[in-house]
Amino acid sequence: MHRLTALTVATLIVAAPAFAQEPDAKQIAQERQQAEIDVPELVKVLDLKPGMTVADVGAGGGAFTVVLGHWIGDGRVLATDIGQRQLREIRAYADKEGLNNVTVIEGAAASTNLPAACCDAIFMRDVYHHVTATGAFDKSLLASLKPGGRLAIIDFRGRPGSAVPEGVPANRGGHGIPPEIVVEEVTAAGFTHVRTMDPWLGDRRNAMFLVLFQKPVAAVAAAP
C-alpha cells in the first residue's frame, strides 16, 4: 500500500476549521488509507483489546473512528470534535459503515466532555497543537480515563517561522509542537510519561511523533 505523507494528511483531518470546504471523495479515501496504516500500530501502543472503550478526541472526518469501530468489536469508540461539520461527518460515516458502537460527542476548548473514567484509552492525532486551554484540557483527559488507562498524542513539530494557531501558547515554535512540550504539559496534569516514539512509524521526513502517557492507578480523577 502506498503510504501517504503524514504531514499532508495532517492538513486534511482534524485541523480543518468548521467552516472549511466539505471533503471530497479523494480526501475521504486518503484519510481512510492513513487510518488503515496507523490503527494497527496504535492498537499495540495503547494495548487495546476488543470490548474496550477508546476515545478519538478531535476525530475530524471520522476515518480513525470508523477503522477502530470495526476493530473494537463489542467495545465502544467515543468520537469528539468541536466542529459541527465534523460531528455530522462522523455520524454519517459510522452510519454508512453500519457501526452501532460509535458515540459522537461535542467537545469543548477546555474539556473533552467525555464522562468521567469512561475510557480504557484515548488518542489525539494532529489535534494537541491546536489546544488553547492546555491545563484544563489535560486535566479533562485525565478525568476521562480509567485508572491505568493510556493516552497517545500523535503530532508533528512545527516548521520554524510558521504561524502559531490563534490562542495557542507561543512556545510551540511554529504551527505544530515539540514532543518535549507535550510531555511537560501533560505530566503536569497528573499523567505518567511512558515513552516517546519519535518518529512515529519511522516517518522522520514529516516529523510525526507519538507520546504515550498513562493515568496512575492511584490517581484521583479531576473534574473536566
Domain that holds residue 173: 52-214
Q: Is 70 within a domain? A: yes
How many domains does the structure of the chain reveal? 1
Q: What is the mean pLDDT of residues 135-163?
A: 94
- Domain at 189, CATH number: 3.40.50.150
CA distance 181 to 24: 34
More confident: 30 or 113: 113
Evaluate whether residue 173 is within a structural domain. Answer: yes
Is residue 109 situated within a structural domain? yes
Determine the Cα–Cα distance for residues 207 and 40; give it in Å rounded to an integer: 20
pLDDT in tens, 5-21: 333 333 333 333 333 45
Q: What are the pLDDT digits (tens) for 54-72?
A: 999 999 999 999 999 999 9
Q: Residue 21: inside a domain, yes or no?
A: no
Segment 22-35 mean pLDDT: 83
The pLDDT of residue 2 is above 80: no
Does residue 6 lie within any of the structural domains? no
Summarised one tens digit per residue, pLDDT across range 150-168 is 999 999 998 888 888 889 9
Q: What is the pLDDT of residue 170?
A: 86
More confident call, 160 vs 133: 133
The residues, ordered by sequence, that sit 6+ positions from 201 with a Cβ below 8 Å of its Cβ are 6, 37, 38, 41, 208
Q: Round the average pLDDT of the chain to a whole number and report it.
A: 87
Residues 64 and 35: beta-carbon distance below 8 Å: yes
Lowest mean pLDDT, pick from 44-53, 113-122, 163-172, 209-218? 163-172
| Inside any domain, residue 58 | yes
Q: At which residue does the C-alpha cell 491546536 appear?
A: 130
Q: How does pLDDT run across 197-213, given as a tens digit for each residue?
A: 999 987 666 679 999 99
Question: Among 7, 69, 70, which Cα is nearest to 34's?
Answer: 7
User: What was the pLDDT predicted at 162?
Assistant: 87
Specify if 224 maps to a domain: no
Q: How high is the pLDDT of residue 23?
A: 64
CA distance 145 to 88: 25
Residue 43 placed within a domain: no
